[in-house]
């Protein structure tokens, strides 16, 4: 036997350490860290561009905006946030408590049906209820026929196209954020704590107010913050209802006045609102710390009888009826009336455009989310964590802000390149990137990468690190380990991520409306255009298609709720 083939104990320990080292210290992790950092910087660039707009002088235009409309933008945005915040907390917390901790008929059906309003974007509800409640709509027509009123001056009827109407509609479609997170918090609370409150003589209301609600405050704060971010980013509802907010101001300043710098500064101001909201939500969650035990035995629900049973049903049914069932029924009726338009070639072109954008956007977001999540698994260092969180912060940024942050640098690049080509070769390149599908897909990536990343990261975290060690001991590189080991095991998580981003892209309106190529409309844009032209009945089919696409995440979330219930039971 040759002596040079024998290794010392120290050398053997070193080799074993290399073979069975943790994924976070793998040799290939450095390349992934550089790649993740580069992607994070690229995706964060629109936000950085918008923030730099705060220091760019806009001249007389900004002064004109400040003197005329800025105060109205601020007031309406704050009023929307206050009204929607109160509404989503009231509906979301009450319904979550009822279906989780109380026993009454149809509870099992209501616990997933309360998620249905997530399928209908607020701007579609705005179109639908306007036609339903306007002077010429069926409600006021029936009232005039019933009471003999001859004109609108003979009676008073609330105006749906107002600030209060926008608050109500946004509340109806956004309360599921609070409901979902609060319900999970109630499910995860220690049953011993609640049982102790009962032993001490607390009624169901007292147990809710003194025990369950304080424990659920972090989840309520997180859900409310998500709802308020969506409120700030809404464009279709407030634009259609003529409620001046930052999103409508950005669109009007950019396209109506042609002032990009002033629009950038409005976007920067809106971004400061969002960042302040994020900081307040994080402070609120850290200000109070709540610790729960892991004992989660089955808790007997409070049985409801008589009028309490009917009240619980009513509280849960009202947001479902007005947030989804009634609008879906009205859209279906209008769609049947205009069923001949299904053969219209233009409608199928809009559907094709939506499907192409949604498919490409979901594929791109899924691939990059997988790259980020696996890079974080290989190198769970602070710089890597910071880079990943930086890349995933776009979900909190309104689509109009992202659109401005993308179009400003792309426009400068296109104009600079065009000027250079003209002076050098006498050729005009035009707009190569601005207003193209590439720019639009980049906007979707910035906006919805967090949705894909959260699903992919959760799926990847369920794979034991020992599988990484085994693959490395067989000589596989990190990329080969991802392809051969992790990818087959996380199929459901990847599919979920792709579907969620697909549906979000289908429903997205502000970024699509601003960045889309010329004569390239989607179903969401077409529905908005028809409604803006007061052709509400014709908007039913594209709006109904968007709502049907939105049912996909509702089905996925409903399955998760059923799994959570079965795990606890």
User: What tokens does 135 get?
Assistant: 């002077």
What's the pLDDT band for 428 if we cut at 50, 70, 90?
A: confident
Higher pLDDT, residue 61 or 38? 38
User: What tokens does 224 get?
Assistant: 């409310």
24 in Cβ contact with 378 (< 8 Å): yes
Q: Per CATH, the architecture of 50-335 is what? A: Orthogonal Bundle (1.10)
For 468-519, write each residue's pLDDT tens digit.
778 777 777 777 777 777 777 777 778 878 888 888 888 888 888 888 888 8
401 in Cβ contact with 50 (< 8 Å): yes
For 186-195, write each residue's pLDDT tens digit.
776 655 566 5
Q: Per CATH, the architecture of 339-536 is what? A: Orthogonal Bundle (1.10)
Cα 41 from Cα 277, distance rounded (Å):
23
> What average pLDDT does the segment 451-464 reach?
79
For 133-165, write each residue's pLDDT tens digit.
888 888 888 888 888 887 777 788 888 889 999
**491: how many CB neighbours lie within 10 A of its CB?**
10
> What average pLDDT does the segment 80-99 reach?
92
User: What tokens does 321 get?
Assistant: 């009826």
552 in Cβ contact with 503 (< 8 Å): yes
pLDDT of residue 15: 39
CA distance to 100, 333, 445, per residue, from 367 (Å): 37, 40, 11
For 197-253, write each residue's pLDDT tens digit.
665 556 666 666 666 667 777 778 878 888 888 898 888 899 889 899 988 888 888
Domain layout of the chain by residue ranges: 50-335, 339-536
Name the least confident of 37-46, 362-371, 422-431: 422-431
User: What tokens does 454 get?
Assistant: 């959260």
444 in Cβ contact with 507 (< 8 Å): no
Contacts of 496 (CB under 8 A, 6+ apart): 455, 459, 556
pLDDT of residue 2: 43
Query: How much of the chain exceeds pLDDT 90, in percent?
Result: 13
Asked if pLDDT for residue 275 goes beyond 70, the answer is: yes
Rounded (10°) CA dihedral 71, 76, 78, 83:
160
pLDDT of residue 316: 94
Top mean pLDDT of 21-30, 379-388, 433-442, 477-486 is at 433-442
Contacts of 347 (CB under 8 A, 6+ apart): 341, 526, 541, 542
Cα 174 from Cα 222, distance rounded (Å):
13
pLDDT of residue 546: 87
Residue 18, classed as helix, strand or coil, is: helix
What's the pLDDT band for 343 if we cut at 50, 70, 90?
A: low
> Is 339-536 in the same CATH topology as 50-335?
yes
> What average pLDDT does the segment 327-339 reach?
84
Cα 301 from Cα 323, distance rounded (Å):
27
pLDDT of residue 6: 44
């Amino acid at each position: 036997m040759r002596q040079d083939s024998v290794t010392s104990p120290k050398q053997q320990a070193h080799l074993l350490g290399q073979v069975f080292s943790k994924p976070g210290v793998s040799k290939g992790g450095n390349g992934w860290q550089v790649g993740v950092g580069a992607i994070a910087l690229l995706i964060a660039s629109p936000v950085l561009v918008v923030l730099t707009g705060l220091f760019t002088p806009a001249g007389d235009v900004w002064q004109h905006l400040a003197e005329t409309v800025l105060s109205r933008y601020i007031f309406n945005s704050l009023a929307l946030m206050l009204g929607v915040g109160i509404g989503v907390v009231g509906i979301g917390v009450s319904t979550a408590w009822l279906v989780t901790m109380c026993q009454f008929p149809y509870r099992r059906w209501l616990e997933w049906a309360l998620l249905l309003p997530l399928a209908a974007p607020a701007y579609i509800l705005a179109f639908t209820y306007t036609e339903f409640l306007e002077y010429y709509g069926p409600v006021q027509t029936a009232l005039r026929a019933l009471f003999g009123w001859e004109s609108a001056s003979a009676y008073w009827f609330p105006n749906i196209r107002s600030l209060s109407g926008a608050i109500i509609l946004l509340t109806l479609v956004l309360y599921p954020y609070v409901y979902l997170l609060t319900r999970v918090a109630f499910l995860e609370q220690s049953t011993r704590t609640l049982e102790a409150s009962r032993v001490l003589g607390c009624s169901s209301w007292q147990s809710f107010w003194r025990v369950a609600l304080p424990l659920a405050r972090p989840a309520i704060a997180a859900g409310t913050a998500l709802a308020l971010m969506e409120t700030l980013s809404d464009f279709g509802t407030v634009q259609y209802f003529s409620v001046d907010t930052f999103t409508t101001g950005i669109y009007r300043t950019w396209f109506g006045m042609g002032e990009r710098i002033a629009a950038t500064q409005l976007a920067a101001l809106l971004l400061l609102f969002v960042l302040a909201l994020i900081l307040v939500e994080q402070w609120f969650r850290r200000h109070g710390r709540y610790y729960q035990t892991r004992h989660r035995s089955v808790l007997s629900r409070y049985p409801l009888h008589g009028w309490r049973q009917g009240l619980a049903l009513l509280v849960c049914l009202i947001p479902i009826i007005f947030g989804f069932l009634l609008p879906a029924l009205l859209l279906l009726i209008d769609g049947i009336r205009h069923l001949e338009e299904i053969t219209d070639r233009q409608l199928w072109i809009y559907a094709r455009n939506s499907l192409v954008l949604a498919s490409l956007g979901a594929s791109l977001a899924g691939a990059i989310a997988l790259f980020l999540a696996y890079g974080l698994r290989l190198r769970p260092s602070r710089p890597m964590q910071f880079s990943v969180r930086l890349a995933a912060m776009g979900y909190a940024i309104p689509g109009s802000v992202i659109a401005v942050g993308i179009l400003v640098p792309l426009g400068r690049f296109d104009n600079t390149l065009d000027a250079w080509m003209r002076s050098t070769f006498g050729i005009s390149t035009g707009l190569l990137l601005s207003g193209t599908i590439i720019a639009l897909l980049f906007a979707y990536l910035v906006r919805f990468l967090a949705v894909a990343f959260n699903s992919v990261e959760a799926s990847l975290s369920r794979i034991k690190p020992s599988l990484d060690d085994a693959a490395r001991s067989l000589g596989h590189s990190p990329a080969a380990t991802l392809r051969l080991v992790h990818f087959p095991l996380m199929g459901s998580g990847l599919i979920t991520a792709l579907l969620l981003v697909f549906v979000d892209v289908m429903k997205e309106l502000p970024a699509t409306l601003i960045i889309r190529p010329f004569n390239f409309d989607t179903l969401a844009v077409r529905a908005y255009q028809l409604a803006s032209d007061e052709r509400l009945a014709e908007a039913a089919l594209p709006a109904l298609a968007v709502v049907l696409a939105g049912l996909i995440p509702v089905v996925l979330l409903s399955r998760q709720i059923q799994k959570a219930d079965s795990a606890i039971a």
